[in-house]
Chains A and B, each alone.
Chain A
């Protein structure tokens, strides 16, 4: 997931910046809505003709349409500012999704997630470092890949890059590897989940723990089922909440070796790196638990969240350039791929174990 920025690199007025977003936003809406339209049309056709056909969620159609556009005609420059806002919609959607969780659910599933994340995190970081050393990757590139695959993809890499004083080139390779693997997981995870007959909760937890980028984890969950999508977001949000601790640990490690700036105020550092949308998610969840919203209002909030995700999924497809991903060096990709398979297997084992012992 590439991170967007409402950038101030050039002195343009706020009005002009907002106007520049409009074409891309319309494209996101058009692609996302086309995905929804295709899903509904197929469902209506198969129902009226009494054909048994599995329901293919709009998520997949939106991503595929986006991929087709991005990799055939390409996305013209005029659309790019708006298309790049997809992470903004993702975060807004996650906050609104809080309305669908009672705080008790969050604490229960979030607690299990936290436990599983801690185990998976330790194993992932260790394995990625061993792998990076075996493939003779540069140590900081290995650190970035480890952070990206263990925590939360591109956001984690971007958060860690200045903190460990890594090269731009290393960050680029790590981001490309994580994005490529995220795209692959979108299509493989639901297939594996179905073949193993995983429950919605178990699959959602697995997707949230194993898929690196928040957008891809959300999409991988939603591709399985609505309930799985909810759990995937919760598990992924739990994982995101740990980003600042891992980045701090790496920053201290590289600073101790004299290869990054020493961290002064650690509390301020933790707060700066903390993903604030997690707090928004918890706040909405708390309000829903306290009965602040009526049932129809909760439905409206849940639907708003789905509309926000619709824009996100269109953006995931539109921002994935398969040709460029293919051009990246093979070694970071190989390390990332082997690491991802390892993490996917470990987390699958953990989820299986948790499902049996803790009755998810």
Chain B
């Protein structure tokens, strides 16, 4: 499900294969799979940030301290 912390070429290769791309004869499909997942991460992150901003704007969560 998730990338290995190991940074050996073998480990990264397996990460690339399992999560980003599946290189081979179906290149366009591979591209779209990789891209759609990349977009998902960005979209999820942006969505979370916007929801949090909205909650803060509507005072639905207490002031966040650091």
Q: Would you give the 0/1 interface string for A154-165, flagging 1 where the beta carbon is closer than 8 Å to chain B?
A: 010011011101
Asked if A324 contacts B46 (CB within 8 A), the reply is no
Nearest opposing residue in chain A for B32, CB measure: A272
Contact A303 B65 (CB under 8 A): yes
Closest to A276 in B: B42
Q: Are B45 and A280 in contact (CB under 8 A)?
A: yes
Q: Which of B9, B30, B46 is the one whose CB lies under 8 Å from A276?
A: B46
Interface string of B3-35 (1 = CB under 8 A from A): 111111111110111111101000110111011
Out of A92, A176, A261, A280, name the residue touching B12 (CB < 8 Å): A176
Closest chain-A Cβ to B44's Cβ sits at a distance in Å of: 7
The yes or no answer to A328 lying at the interface (CB within 8 A) is yes
In the complex with contacts A162-B30, A297-B56, A325-B7, A91-B42 CB distance below 8 A: yes
A325 / chain B contacts, CB cutoff of 8 Å: 7
Interface of chain A residues 255 through 280 with chain B (CB within 8 A): 261, 272-273, 275-277, 279-280
Question: What distance in Å separates the Cβ of A250 from its nearest Cβ neighbour in chain B?
Answer: 14
Q: Is the CB of A9 within 8 A of B38?
A: no
CB pair A176 B1 closer than 8 Å = no
Docked pose: A321 CA to B23 CA in angstroms: 26
A44 in the interface, Cβ–Cβ < 8 Å? Answer: no
Please name all residues of chain B whose beta carbon is closer than 8 Å to the beta carbon of A261 when the two chains form the complex.
27-28, 31
Give B10's nearest chain A residue, CB to CB: A172
Contact partner of B20 (CB less than 8 A), chosen from A93, A158, A328, is A158
27 A-B residue pairs with CB within 8 Å: A3-B20, A80-B4, A88-B44, A95-B46, A96-B53, A159-B38, A165-B27, A168-B12, A168-B16, A168-B17, A169-B9, A172-B9, A172-B10, A172-B13, A273-B35, A276-B46, A277-B42, A277-B46, A280-B45, A280-B50, A284-B53, A300-B63, A300-B64, A301-B56, A301-B64, A304-B56, A328-B9
Q: Which residues of A contact B66 (CB under 8 A)?
A: 303, 306-307
Question: In whole Å, how far is B59's beta carbon from the nearest beta carbon of chain A?
Answer: 8
Residues of B within 8 A of A296 (CB): 63
- Count of chain A residues with a beta carbon within 8 Å of a chain B beta carbon: 73
Rounded to whole angstroms, the CA-CA distance of A273 and B36 in the bound complex is 10
Question: In the bound complex, what is the Cα–Cα distance between A128 and B12 (angstroms)?
Answer: 23
Asked whether any CB of chain B lies closer than 8 Å to the CB of A152, the reply is: no
Q: Is A99 an interface residue (CB 8 A)?
A: yes
- Which of B's residues lie within 8 Å of A, judged by CB? 1-13, 15-21, 23, 27-28, 30-32, 34-35, 37-46, 48-50, 52-53, 56-57, 59, 61, 63-66
Q: How far is the CA of A168 from the CA of B13 in the complex (A)?
A: 5
Residue of B7, B21, B32, B59 with highest tally of chain A CB at under 10 A = B7
Residues of A within 8 A of B43 (CB): 276
When the two chains form the complex, which single residue of A80, A81, A93, A162 contacts B23, counting CB atoms closer than 8 Å? A162
In the complex, which of the residues A7, A284, A306 has the most CB atoms of chain B within 10 Å of its own CB atom?
A: A7
Q: Are B3 and A3 in contact (CB under 8 A)?
A: yes
- A318-349 contacts to B, CB under 8 A, are 318-321, 324-325, 327-328
Q: Which residue of B lies closest to A264 (CB)?
A: B28
The residues of A that contact B23 with a CB separation of less than 8 Å are 161-162, 165, 168
Residue of A9, A99, A162 with highest tally of chain B CB at under 10 A: A162
Q: Which residues of the other chain, A, contact B11 by a CB distance below 8 angstroms?
A: 324
Contact: B39 with A272, CB < 8 Å? yes
CB distance from A189 to the nearest CB of B (A): 21
A292 at the interface (CB under 8 A from B): yes
Complex: chain A residue closest to B28, CB-CB:
A261
A96–B52 touching, CB < 8 Å: yes
